[in-house]
Amino acid sequence: MTHDIDEAILRGDPVYVMGARPGRIKQILDVPIERPRTLDMVMERSFIDMKRKIFGLLHDGLEEAH
């Protein structure tokens, strides 16, 4: 488990995105990036797209919590 999105994408298969409250799984995402994954991949389009998707889910959760 991690709170770091980059680490989750690099290590996860799949990535579980948690909702803000009451701490439930909001969505389970498959990582469409082949292994082995390296830090160099954080600048690739597929990595950035995945990160944006996760940020979007987390942002929606923050709005719902307020």
Q: What is the predicted pLDDT for the residue at 11?
A: 96
Distance CA 56, CA 45 (A): 16
Task: Check: CB of residue 52 under 8 Å from CB of residue 10.
Answer: no
Choose between 32 and 19: higher pLDDT: 32
Task: Check: CB of residue 28 under 8 Å from CB of residue 14.
Answer: yes
What residues does each domain of the chain span? 5-65
Confidence check: pLDDT of 65 > 70: no
Q: What is the predicted pLDDT for the residue at 64?
A: 55
Confidence check: pLDDT of 28 > 90: yes
Choose between 59 and 62: higher pLDDT: 59
